Amino acid sequence: MKTINYIFRKLQKDKVPNYLGIAGLATGLVCVLYIFFWVTNEINYDRFHENIDEIFVVHAILEGGDEPIIFQGAPPAVAGAIENEYAQVSKTARMMPAFAEWMLSHNGEKQMRYTAFADYSIFDIFSFEFIYGSPGEPTVRNQIVITESTSVSLFGDKNPVGEIINFNNMENVVVSGVIKDIPHNSSIQFQALIPLEILTIVFDNDNFLNTWYNNAFMTFGLLNDANNFPIIDEAVKNRIQQVYPDSTNFLRAYKFKNAWLYEMNNIRNIRIFSFIGILILLTAILNFINLNTARSARQIKENGIRKSLGAVKSNLVKIVYSEISVVCLIAFFIALVVTIIGLPSFNQLINKEISITTLLNWQPLIILGIILVLTIALSGLYPALILSDYSPVQSLRTTYQSMKNRGILRNTLIITIFAMSIALLSSTFVINSQISHLQKLDLGFTKDHIVYLRLNGQLQSQASTLQNELTRNPNIQSTTILSNLPNAIGNNGEGWNWENRNIEFRPLVYNWYVSPDLLNTLEIELKEGEFFRENQQNAVVINRTFARMIGWDSFQGKSITNWDNSYEIMGVVEDFHFNNIGTATDPIAIFPAARDWDANFIAIKTTSQNISETLNFIREAAIGIEPAFPIQLSFLDDEYKVMLEPENNLKTLISIFTLFAIIVLTLGLTGLIMFMAEQKTKEIGIRKSLGEETGSIILRLLKPFFMAGLISSLIAIPLSWYAMSKWLENYAQRITPGADTFFIAAISTILLAIITVSIQSWNAARKNPIHALRNE
């Protein structure tokens, strides 16, 4: 208890510098804790499933183009073959993910819910917790499992098992069970789940679930033993070729627990932020060490007195680490409280649902303990091991001026801190510029003032009627029917052939079904030929990437084939960005939307006037044709905002953490210059009494910081440039950062340091020299 009281009295002796040290360390720890929460949330994706180590997922890999394309799904016949042929697999399940909303209605209440379709063995593989009921009978088609929130919205608080729900105005299904809402950090999300067999009705195809060529189905398996994974991975590789020897569609098995991190490449951001967290923690610790070295002369005298009274080195080390531990615990407690209070706002900024209960598992607690121990160990290293080595006589004779060699360590620490701050700030500039570039990128079509509506029920078969009705409104400029929105074009297909094609080259081409109004509505540029007309059959329009791939000088009157079908190339459109904005443009074939199931969306180009009245008109026109379904209008540019949400989260996070790093740097420099000014009180007094100007004294105090800034810039700029160049390689559409970006970061950091140091230097230099000399 005496030691604790002594430590707190010592903290009170130099209030401002000590509090600045605690504040800087706490600020750095707040940043580290937020990064820790975020990284833990990402790493724990899907880890709530009890059998996570035994679960695998099968992906199709299409080869034949410049690079293989990995699909998240596999053909529907794969699951049954794996389960029947390999004893190492106890269960398999197929799932068509909840990509779209389907209508669920009960007693007149109609709601659109994201609905997945799966084999009911999915509940034997994954740990979805049932509140009511069970998965139901595997052989029964007309049943449904819903989430708790869906149950409450349709049935209130009662047990809905046995209740009837009408699915998409198509078939009645019985509620067999209710599960808890799926955790936010799950890669599998749905609000309702229906047996796969119902898709044979939806697509009017009895063979829909038995093919070897439709990669729309996520395929999961449960191993008897996790060690059997390599056997299954090797076994499935050429399974499709056993049915279709010429297929370029191969299979690979992946460990499901690694799918979110590695197959979806989320590990990239985890590594980035883990590195940022380490940088900021080191910056905070080095600032804290700097403050301790600045106080080293006083600490040495205390150690000398203790040694003259009989203390040995181990006693001094114990005292130093006691002091450091108390300070670090105070900073850690403050950081933890601030982090918990700010967690809801942090979640809102990054659109996550991170809970403080993340800390309740033993792994996070151990990691936090390691962070705390490392902080204490590194912060006390210098005063504990170096300063305690002085003999009593050396300790009592030592002054600040006699410790020039110790200034080397302090200058090295300052240079390191500056370099890390410059690196972090320049990285922030580059990342923000890249994301802004993606946001402002010319997509090759317009997404502004484009309203879209999903076509359900009679709207699919009467899409042209809806188009004619909408064009009566003067605020609607044009409309087009789409099989997919431009950010979600699928059906990547093989089987393409043309004259003089290299037989080894098997391109993978995206297919898009649209009406002839596409060019006018989305303002896509036609480069050659013409677009197809209404009711024109066996026609195709291709983009320039596909045209370059074919290699012809002219496409007029030319045809290409896809499997057994021949298509006349009507025209070539300019490349436009579909699906992923950041990647290179893929080849695409655009076909007439001739079948009802091609009409999934209608895109409507409106004027900028009377938006509310125009939306009401669209809604009423759609209801007039199909009153059974809720009408949900959305804007196309909102879809692209959602697409860029991960990049925007990255931008937000790194900006926040860079701000934390700047605060840590500022607090550290403020405390450091206050100690330096205190140690140089006599020198400043003598210089002022000899007539030296205040400005000259300030410049003298600024010089080491300015030099440290220049040296750190020479270190940080090339390292930052290299790191950011490697990061930008992930984007086909990327900026080329100029030298000015890195120089601005360096100059900004140095200017911040100069301003911070100048303020404290001014306070020290303007004091009356009589008081300065009297204090000595």
**What would the mean pLDDT of 127-132 be, rounded to a whole number?**
95
pLDDT tens profile 187-223: 999 999 999 999 888 877 888 899 888 888 999 999 9
pLDDT tens profile 441-484: 889 999 999 999 999 989 999 999 999 999 999 999 999 999 99
How far is CA 345 from its chain centroid? 17
Which pLDDT does position 284 carry in this prediction? Answer: 85
Rounded to 5 degrees, φ, ψ at 212 are: -110, 15
- Taking Cα atoms as reference points, which of 592, 601, 579, 588 lies closest to residue 513? 592
Residue 451 lies in a domain: no
- Please indicate, yes or no, whether residues 38 and 56 belong to a single structural domain of this protein: no
Residue 762 has pLDDT above 90, yes or no: no
| Percent of the residues in the chain that have a pLDDT greater than 70, as a whole number | 85
- Please indicate, yes or no, whether residues 617 and 486 belong to a single structural domain of this protein: yes
Please tell me which residue, 592 or 687, carries the higher pLDDT value. 592
Query: Considering 228, 263, 298, which residue would you say is the last residue of a domain?
Result: 263
Q: Strand (E) positions, 416-554? A: 450-454, 476-482, 496-497, 510-514, 526-529, 539-543
Measured distance CA(299)–CA(388) in Å, rounded: 9
- Please indicate, yes or no, whether residues 272 and 258 belong to a single structural domain of this protein: no
Task: Give the amino acid at 371.
Answer: I
Residue 276 lies in a domain: yes
Query: Considering 263, 298, 328, which residue would you say is the last residue of a domain?
Result: 263
Structural contact between residues 159 and 132, judged by C-beta atoms closer than 8 angstroms: yes
Please tell me which residue, 664 or 763, carries the higher pLDDT value. 664
Measured distance CA(478)–CA(607) in Å, rounded: 10
- Please indicate, yes or no, whether residues 396 and 508 belong to a single structural domain of this protein: no
- Please indicate, yes or no, whether residues 81 and 30 belong to a single structural domain of this protein: no
- Taking Cα atoms as reference points, which of 246, 215, 255, 219 lies closest to residue 70? 215
**What would the mean pLDDT of 232-261 be, rounded to a whole number?**
87
The DSSP symbol for 493 reads B
Burial of 202 (0-12, 13-18, 19+ CB in 10 A): middle
List, in order, residues 6 or more apart from 474 with CB less than 8 Å away.
none
The DSSP symbol for 434 reads H
Structural contact between residues 303 and 388, judged by C-beta atoms closer than 8 angstroms: yes
Q: Which of 303-317, 411-425, 512-526 has the lowest average pLDDT?
A: 303-317
For residue 728, count other CB atoms closer than 10 A to its CB.
Answer: 16
Residue 472 lies in a domain: yes
- Please indicate, yes or no, whether residues 293 and 393 belong to a single structural domain of this protein: yes
- Please indicate, yes or no, whether residues 592 and 499 belong to a single structural domain of this protein: yes
3-class DSSP string for 149-168: HHHHHHHCCCCCCCCEEEEC
Token pair 């930008």 is found at: 728
Q: Which of 401-405, 482-486, 739-743, 753-757 has the lowest average pLDDT?
A: 401-405
- Please indicate, yes or no, whether residues 471 and 591 belong to a single structural domain of this protein: yes
Query: Considering 569, 603, 628, which residue would you say is the last residue of a domain?
Result: 628
Which pLDDT does position 702 carry in this prediction? Answer: 78
| DSSP per-residue letters across 597-616 | GG--EEEEEE-SSSHHHHHH
Residue 398 has pLDDT above 60, yes or no: no
**What would the mean pLDDT of 159-167 be, rounded to a whole number?**
95
Which pLDDT does position 583 carry in this prediction? Answer: 79
Residue 542 lies in a domain: yes
Query: Could you give the 3-state DSSP secondary structure of residue 390?
Result: coil
Q: Residues 434-438: contacts with CB within 8 Å, 24+ apart?
A: 434/728, 434/731, 434/734, 434/735, 435/644, 435/647, 435/648, 435/650, 435/651, 437/733, 437/734, 437/735, 438/581, 438/582, 438/644, 438/647, 438/731, 438/733
pLDDT class of 668 with cuts at 50, 70, 90: confident
- Please indicate, yes or no, whether residues 240 and 173 belong to a single structural domain of this protein: yes
- Please indicate, yes or no, whether residues 198 and 65 belong to a single structural domain of this protein: yes
Residue 522 has pLDDT above 70, yes or no: yes
The DSSP symbol for 187 reads S
Which pLDDT does position 400 carry in this prediction? Answer: 47
Residue 518 lies in a domain: yes
| DSSP per-residue letters across 625-642 | H-TTS---EEEHHHHHHH
pLDDT tens profile 343-391: 998 888 888 888 877 666 777 778 778 888 888 887 777 666 655 555 5
Integer angstrom CA distances of residue 24 from 281, 339, 672: 10, 15, 12
Residue 443 lies in a domain: no
pLDDT tens profile 319-353: 777 878 888 888 889 998 999 999 998 888 888 88
What is the span of the domain harbouring residue 752? Answer: 2-42+268-438+645-775
Please tell me which residue, 6 or 654, carries the higher pLDDT value. 654
Residue 639 lies in a domain: no
- Please indicate, yes or no, whether residues 33 and 76 belong to a single structural domain of this protein: no
Q: Strand 89-96 and strand 109-118: pairing?
A: antiparallel
**What would the mean pLDDT of 149-176 be, rounded to a whole number?**
94
Residue 378 lies in a domain: yes
Residue 401 has pLDDT above 50, yes or no: no
The whole-chain average pLDDT of the chain stands at: 84
- Please indicate, yes or no, whether residues 461 and 379 belong to a single structural domain of this protein: no
667: which 2 tokens? Answer: 């607090």
What's the total number of domains in the chain?
3
Q: How many residues does the chain have?
A: 776
Measured distance CA(488)–CA(170) in Å, rounded: 25
Residue 773 has pLDDT above 60, yes or no: no
**What would the mean pLDDT of 486-499 be, rounded to a whole number?**
81
